[in-house]
Chains A and B, each alone.
Chain A
Amino acid sequence: MKRKSTKKKQQSLFPSTLEEVEKDLNEKALNSSPDFTMKVVETESNQRVGFYFLYSIIKPQVVYEQIISPIQKAKKTLDIKAIDNMIVLPNSKQESNIDEIAKKLLQGAVCIYIENDQSCLMHSVPLQEHRSIDRAETESLIFGPQMAFTGSIETNLNMVRNMIDTPHLKIERFILGNKIPNEIQMIYMNDIANEENVNELRKRLTSLQSEDIMNASVLSQKIEDNPYSFFPQYIVTELPDRFTYSIKEGKIGILVDNSSAGIVAPITFSSFFESTDDIYGRWVIGSFTRLMRMFAMIMSITLTPLYVAALTFHYEVIPEALLLSLGESRNRVPFPPLMETLILETMMEFIREAGARLPTKVGQTMGIVGGIVIGQAVVQAGFTSNILIILVALSALASFTTPDYVMGTSLRILRFPIILLAGTFGFVGIFFMVAFIIIHLLRLRSLHRPYTAPIYPFRFSDFDQSQVRIPFALNKRRATSLLPKKTKRKKSNADQHPLFNTKGKDIDE
């Protein structure tokens, strides 16, 4: 009720003088911005026209050439409609509410007001400074296109559109953020993507109440199924090819303005260990690297805990050939295996974090300091055994094989509780923790779809596109665990491959 009355009061501002409008806009609606600018132009028919804008977020050249100068040159008496016809730019709107005008100004609009008129005309000429399309920083590819999403949603959408140029690509636009609104686009193939998934994601986006959406990573955490979980439930990628590949397979992508990453949903645990490089490379390479990454993941979280458990409790499982060298290197170490491992693992995390935070040039020096100086000195000083150094380095290396940085880091941190349990309960502790993780993974869902598919629920036919990558000649179906509308891939002549026709004969036979 109260709000309505203020609105009425504001509306009564018009008609007024240009200076009154300026005062109202700048002091009341915009809290006295230093970059607020008013430009007054007197036309040949002696009309005073005011232009209001924030000069930091408009394109000045466009404003002067396309908006101000035609009006300045106008000979007849102008009204709002005439001005609108004069300016060839799209996106014009009449506005008479002062708050709305201020809001538009903040998004890069120019307000044109003829003195003593009833309303003003808004033209959107926003200036958005973004970095150009660059190489990806956190996810790197060997074969794939060497480019990453930028901060501009227009550029990002442009890349996606270029990669999937079909009318089936459906884009839905949302404005989220109560305080600082931001544009969000949900992109999917409307002939493939599962409708329930789309509805669910749309529901989550529209019902999201949030002050602001900083970027894609923040948004993905706000619409997760289980926000308490250790594991990310959406892939946040900065690679447009990975983004579009997922959309083509029936997943849904989300782009966020001012964010150089896109969200992919729904995903499974194994998709964190897939890279588009596996698809570009030959199938043997792809399958091998995928299996290797899985193996590396298991190794990276169990190798040092196994060391701790075996050396603290289970000396009897150590093979005879290893026992002596293990014992000899442990002999000088003053700490129990648990402490020793925690110290070294923490040190490893220090080096990694220092490398990530430092500027690139200094970061390289860090690697040398961390790797050689500390590694060498620690063993010489008898702080840790050299076998543990090997194991820690190996498991750190293994964790970096995960293509997704967030997942890699989660797994690396997961190692610490396992090490602690291994040091207090031995193998029992490791199994307890691993079982705990597995149970958690089984319960986890991404957009209400099982996280561990295709292992559980078991879909054998999906293994060929997740755990391994089969040759394209055999790849005729989409993964069924995503429940796409069309499982069969659109007609392809993969089965008329020359191999099948010629029965392996040479071309001149």
Chain B
Amino acid sequence: MKMKIKKFFLILSIVVLLTGCAEERVLEDLGIITTAGFDKGEDGPEVFGTFITYKFSQQLSNVNSPIHSSGRTAQDAFHLAFAKTAKKLVTGQLRAVVYGPDLAKEGIWPHLDTLQRNQFVSDLVYITVSEMPSREVLNAQVFEEAPNVGIYIYRLLDQVIGKEEIVDSSLHEFIKNYLKVGVDPITPVLSIEEDRVIVTGLGLFQDDRFIDTIDLHEAFYVRLILDEFKAGELQIELPTENYRQFMEDFEPSPEEETFEITMQQIKSASQISPKDSGKYHFSIKIRFEGDIRELTKELDLESKEVIHMLEKDMAKKIEENISKLLEKTQELNVDSLGFGTFWNAKFKGDKKLTEEEWRKEYPNFQFDIDVTTEILRHGITQ
């Protein structure tokens, strides 16, 4: 027994002495970065970094004071920031990364690589681009109850994505889309308005280069095609002309040419099936159902005819909007929706698209869009 105890202490002391203590990162001594922004520096290959950290003091937490630093790469900029704060900068709680437009247009892959290799950075970090330099976005002074702008941006994106408005854009998702043949990444686009950060739309990427943005209305259709809705919301405008006969009496002569209809509790399912007809042909089938939330004109919704007409017109409008969106991506030659992957998932061997073929052929892809809508409930009108 005595030998055993001796042995135990020997092993224990060897373990302690040889490994030493782990590197200490005591919470209050850390500058915990919540959001990092990267811009193109003034000259040459410089990267300008902006870092938002936690402030563990109630007096200071209302003031936003980002740390700026520049270096040759994103990692370098982060590394050189150590001299600009009394706290030890760490990235373990990083929630979002904002890339400025200048940098994003040149390609963000080199800067993403460092995030991907860093074991402290979660795969669920949000990747975003901004309309103006990210240092301006991160300088926002209004951030509601959040402890700092970084957390505000994180909560904003969480809320927006959780509300099913735009598709997910985590680091994992971005890298997957970047490396995969047949799909280009998308990210949310941030901007600043009245000193607060807002989401304005989706940024379309070609490979890792930021090309253009689409607004939130168009962003809805991206999600409609790619994902399914469980509780979304959509506003469409319809021509008044067709419904003149159903209008209520007290509004005999509507001047406006269109009226708005808002759908709520949208459930949707989409099916994309590639067809080989000599050309790259895709049929997009979307089932779409929801409740009417808002109608800017009084219509007699009791009649089935009106409902059918609304459903038909809405389907038409949605088809139109989708084809507009697809045309735009084809013009820009960005396959943000990943039709290339749908093709490659179905066809094998020679028919499979290589990266070059896909880039070359994407503008010539053909789409058949077929939307069926159904109005489940239209609310009590009387």
Contact = CB atoms under 8 A, between A and B. Distances in A.
Q: Do A and B bind each other?
A: yes
Interface of A: 228, 311-316, 318, 320, 323-324, 326-328, 330-331, 333, 336-337, 424-426, 428
Contacts, number: 65
Given A312-B26, A313-B25, A331-B28, 6 more contacts: A311-B27, A312-B24, A312-B27, A316-B120, A337-B27, A428-B22
A324 B56 contact: yes
B57 interface: yes
7 contacts: A316-B120, A316-B122, A320-B95, A323-B32, A331-B56, A333-B28, A428-B22
A313 B61 CA distance: 24
Interface of B: 1, 16, 19, 21-28, 30, 32, 54, 56-58, 61, 90, 92-93, 95, 120, 122, 147, 151, 154
A326 B27 contact: yes
A315 B32 contact: yes
Contacts of B93: 315-316, 318, 320, 323
A330 B54 CA distance: 13
Given A324-B54, A328-B56, A315 B90 contact: yes
A312 B56 CA distance: 16
B27 A330 contact: yes
A330 B154 contact: no
A336 B26 CA distance: 7
Nearest to B61: A324
A331 B122 CA distance: 26
Nearest to B16: A424
A315 B92 contact: yes
A330 B56 contact: yes
B54 A426 contact: no
Nearest to B122: A316
A313 B120 CA distance: 12
Contact of B24 (A313, A320, A328): A313
A311 B26 contact: yes
Given A320-B154, A323-B32, A228 B58 contact: no
B26 A337 contact: yes
Given A311-B26, A312-B26, A425 B21 contact: yes
Contacts of A328: 56-58
A327 B120 CA distance: 19
A313 B1 contact: no
A448 to B, nearest CB: 18
A331 B19 CA distance: 29
A312 B1 contact: no
A318 B21 CA distance: 21
Contacts of A313: 22-25
Contact of A425 (B22, B56, B92): B22
B95 to A, nearest CB: 7
A315 B22 contact: no
Given A320-B93, A320-B151, A327-B56, A315 B27 contact: yes
Most buried by A among B24, B95, B154: B24
Contacts of A326: 27
